Structure 1
Amino acid sequence: MTMDRRTILKQLGGVSVAATLAGCSVQQQDGGSGDGGSGSSSDGSDGSSDGSSDGGSSTDSQGPAGTATAWWSLSDSEKAIREGAVSTFNEQSQHTIEGSDISDLQKKTSSAIPAGQGPHIFDWAHDWAGNTYEQGFTVDQSDQVSISLDQFTTTAQNAVQYEGNLVGLPFGAETVTPIANMDIVDSVPESMDEMISIMDDYHDPDNGQYGLSYPFDPYFSSGFLQAFGGHYYDPQADEPLGVNSDEVVRGLEYALENLRPYMPNDPSYEPQAAAFNEGNAAFAINGPWSLATFSDNDIDYEVFSFPEMEEGTQSPYTGISVWYFAKPMEEGGADATAARDFVEWYVTNEDHLSMLAQEQGAIPVLDSLVGSSDLPAEVQAYSESAGQGTPMPSAPRMDDVWDPVGNALTKAFNGDASAQQALDTAASEIRSNWEGRGHS
């Protein structure tokens, strides 16, 4: 697969975003108990969408106008498109959405929602589904939505439900995958051995040049840590907690031996990402949110799916982007209707979802767009990597997994502990946290 960076993503400014979205028809729905499809459907159906490119149900809103609050946490390039979508909805709907970008969304929702000061809807990945519902931050809207889940992929359908409760609606998928700097790399590698060889040829840290730009945290590193059949946490497995299993230890050892030597010395996101953003790394492993920065910096890049390993297969964590229904939705009324109308429009509007794919590399989960030949080449690459990946667990116990594994990866990366020692410590800490919370 070859492509010229200049033929793919170009970041839109706010004016052009609004102009593009002006062609997306906003549908105004009554927000009542919908019979267009049960929100609690979980039969695995991934039937084709029954909606057209202008979005969901065409039923006009019969009630009074409402005002709903929406929260998100996005990069600057993502904000422009989100603000454009909200502006277009507000212009064409009787309702009003008031959106805010929140720097620490998890902390803010956790404090504001119980205090009655939270949003009607908020945007985050699906791994919050279980914990937010258990804590009462999100609520079931299966009897209120007016669209059918059947028009989304099976993975997306499952991601927005927790124990039969519809806590939100999906609008995209994302994962991480390799990216080549084509000013440095002659061609995309077909195997990990070839990729490592290219990294070795280019790596010259004394002159600020690196073989690989790769944030080393539990999410980004999951592809390699789970490459040999292991898992961090799988509630369906005989041994749900697998962070210090032989398979995961082997995955970490592989990453430490084959990837760590070619990376900047700080494992955190910003210094790792900067190496590629500034044109000083042959490869990056990053998500679609990073692409606009590459374009802004005039980097000639190519996104490709994970190359074949001699043994094992990379299995990165994948996330489904969700508009969550927050606790204020229980109050009903015009404001709740406004929030539902916006979400239902946003998640079914083919024009807008196609633009997210074109501009941000977002992987569609609406069946009518999945696998479309019109999708950009980089989205197809992300989709291929997502296809071999593993959805992040959304069970509440997963919340206690992230930090201990993150600490373990940092220790191992810095040489302060072996892979086995670091992951053994993580497993012990996770079990202790579970016991403290009353989890078996």
Structure 2
Amino acid sequence: MKMKKILALISTFTLALVTACGGGGGAAQPESPGNTETPPAQESQGETAVPELLPEEGAKLVVWESRDERAYTDAVAKEFTEKYGVEVLVEEVNPTDQLTKLGQDGPAGLAADVVVFPHDSLGKAVTSNLVMPNDFFEEKTRNNNTEAAIQGVSYDGVLYGYPRAAETYLLYYNKELVSEPPTSMEEVIEFSKTFTDKSKNRYGFMFETGNLYFAYPFLASTGGYIYGNGGTDINDIGINSEQTLQSMEVYASLREILPVKSGDITPDIKRGLFTSGDLAMDINGPWELGGYKDALGDNLGVAPIPSIGGQPAVSLSGIKAWYVNSYSQYPQAARLFADFAISKEAQLKLSALVGSVPTNNEAQEDDQIKNDEYISAFTEQFRSSVPMPSIPEMANVWSPVGAALAEIWDNNKDIKETLDKAVSQIKDLNSGGAAK
């Protein structure tokens, strides 16, 4: 850990004084002196001042971005080029495909300089030496973004990502059916008893009961967790802890008002029921916001997830972030772009275009966010969330826990015994190296 910090610090000072070569497929190595003048401090809207980093002479960048969020990146790229004179080419690559593509194309010098992928894949990216630490802008990034965002884009104590948006889920409700959103699961049950009618395919409340991502509040709200020490200790699994059992009892009690097999609760089914008025409340993410607004208009309401076991509901969150390719020919320009693209202004631009939740502290307090009924609700829930563990062993959790949830929900299996079995399976997978 200390060696990583020392190397990152050396890299910070070195990159401020030299430019990288424009050679072939390997990571760029500093060769010739750059600007030898003492660089001025950067000052921007109250953000942490850092020495100026200059792009390499003749630098050109390739950035990978999703189709859905390209409008934001195109706008930021244009502003970046105007400021630094660095040409930026934006290529459309699905974020879930970028890590695999980076692993294939990075060593050959064919990958983008700056990429974006789900933060729970960070551990694999780091252990495969595919991304560079966020070293030069580390202090600035830490100071300007939420703690959860920083945790999500760090691995083994080292910051790698440049967080740009947060993603979690909350309670959507139909105002025509629900006058006031419930604040507790007890209130959810009380309402649903009067509304649910399985014979008419009508339900008061629904979520993907067999999906760990959406069921996490019923594991964690009373103190449970996946891996200990901020999601990094694979020897400390809290899925079957005593704290978890308390909130899982609430989970099991919801079968009374949602008498549907876990496998029959799919995104498509929920979407159809909610938009047709046959589902009063749905736990879902921001990807449904546009469609739900189109279907319900002013009748669409959003609220934090109701409390569980007397405690605020703790959801899982994902952090979208930029990462710099280890094999970039222009690591200084790439760092500059990643930092430039996560400013308060850039995150507000992204939120305006796609409805994302900023990770920047000042952006979260901006009127644009606070006055938006929907985004402010997501922001509130995000503050009660924890980022998904980013270590490679997270891949070993999804299937065993999903199977356990289905057994508890569908077959009324004993909660403690079923979760104990899931934890045993996770330990076996971890010890067998299945996460590699």
Cα separation, partners in 2 of 1:326 and 1:404, compared to 1, 3 Å: farther
Cα separation, partners in 2 of 1:113 and 1:263, compared to 1, 3 Å: farther
Distance in 2 (CA, whole Å) between partners of 1:167 and 1:292 is: 31
Q: Which string of whole-angstrom CA distances, capped at 9 and with x for unpartnered residues, describes residues 102-154 of structure 1?
A: 27427734752576454333323333322321122322241488965422233
Q: Which string of whole-angstrom CA distances, capped at 9 and with x for unpartnered residues, describes residues 363-417 of structure 1?
A: 2222322333441132222222222222322233333222221222233333274
Deviation at 1:286, TM superposition (A): 1.2
Conserved 8 A contact 1:160-1:170: yes
Distance in 1 (CA, whole Å) between partners of 2:89 and 2:333 is: 7
Q: Paired residue for 2:348?
A: 354
- Which structure shows the bigger proportion of residues in helix conformation? 2
Distance in 2 (CA, whole Å) between partners of 1:326 and 1:70 is: 11
Q: Paired residue for 1:393?
A: 389
- 3-state DSSP of counterpart to 1:200: helix
Report whether the alignment pairs 1:407 with 2:400. no
Report whether the alignment pairs 1:98 with 2:96. no
Q: Equivalent of 1:122, from 92, 97, 115?
A: 115
Q: Paired residue for 1:234?
A: 228
Structure 2 unmatched runs, 5+: 1-12, 18-41
Q: Paired residue for 2:31?
A: none
Distance in 2 (CA, whole Å) between partners of 1:314 and 1:398 is: 21
Q: Paired residue for 2:161?
A: 168
Cα separation, partners in 2 of 1:200 and 1:137, compared to 1, 3 Å: farther
Deviation at 1:431, TM superposition (A): 0.5
Distance in 1 (CA, whole Å) between partners of 2:128 and 2:365 is: 36
Report whether the alignment pairs 1:425 with 2:421. yes
Structure 1 unmatched runs, 5+: 1-30, 36-48
- 3-state DSSP of counterpart to 1:293: helix
- 3-state DSSP of counterpart to 2:237: coil
Deviation at 1:326, TM superposition (A): 2.9
Report whether the alignment pairs 1:33 with 2:32. no
Report whether the alignment pairs 1:344 with 2:336. no
Cα separation, partners in 2 of 1:353 and 1:55, compared to 1, 3 Å: farther
Q: Which string of whole-angstrom CA distances, capped at 9 and with x for unpartnered residues, describes residues 193-239 of structure 1?
A: 22222223222233232222312311111112212211122136896
The correspondence of residues 146-225 of structure 1 with structure 2, limited to 5 A, is: 148-216=141-209, 217-225=211-219
Distance in 2 (CA, whole Å) between partners of 1:379 and 1:258 is: 28
Deviation at 1:178, TM superposition (A): 1.0
Distance in 1 (CA, whole Å) between partners of 2:54 and 2:127 is: 34
Q: Paired residue for 2:283?
A: 285
Distance in 2 (CA, whole Å) between partners of 1:147 and 1:227 is: 31
Q: Paired residue for 1:314?
A: 313
Q: Paired residue for 1:67?
A: 61
Conserved 8 A contact 2:65-2:116: yes
The correspondence of residues 46-57 of structure 1 with structure 2, limited to 5 A, is: 51-52=44-45
Q: Equivalent of 1:271, from 252, 269, 272?
A: 269
Partner amino acid for 2:400? P
Distance in 1 (CA, whole Å) between partners of 2:86 and 2:301 is: 43
Distance in 2 (CA, whole Å) between partners of 1:294 and 1:182 is: 12
Q: Equivalent of 2:249, from 242, 246, 253?
A: 253
Distance in 2 (CA, whole Å) between partners of 1:213 and 1:251 is: 17
Q: Equivalent of 2:433, from 424, 429, 437?
A: 437
Q: Paired residue for 1:42?
A: none
Distance in 1 (CA, whole Å) between partners of 2:189 and 2:315 is: 19
Partner amino acid for 2:269? P
How high is the TM-score relative to the length of structure 1?
A: 0.75
Partner amino acid for 1:327? S
Distance in 2 (CA, whole Å) between partners of 1:368 and 1:312 is: 28
Q: Paired residue for 1:6?
A: none
Distance in 2 (CA, whole Å) between partners of 1:132 and 1:88 is: 28
Corresponding pairs, count: 387
Q: Paired residue for 2:20?
A: none
Distance in 2 (CA, whole Å) between partners of 1:105 and 1:81 is: 19
Cα separation, partners in 2 of 1:424 and 1:158, compared to 1, 3 Å: closer
RMSD: 3.6
Partner amino acid for 2:313? Q
Conserved 8 A contact 1:32-1:145: no
Partner amino acid for 2:286? P
Q: Which string of whole-angstrom CA distances, capped at 9 and with x for unpartnered residues, describes residues 267-308 of structure 1?
A: 343333443244331011112222112123244211111334
Conserved 8 A contact 1:213-1:275: no
Q: Paired residue for 2:126?
A: 133
Give the stretch that moved more between structures: 250-259 or 176-185: 250-259
Cα separation, partners in 2 of 1:414 and 1:367, compared to 1, 3 Å: same
Conserved 8 A contact 1:34-1:144: no
Partner amino acid for 2:339? E
Q: Percent identity?
A: 22
Partner amino acid for 1:63? E
How high is the TM-score relative to the length of structure 2?
A: 0.76
Partner amino acid for 2:325? A
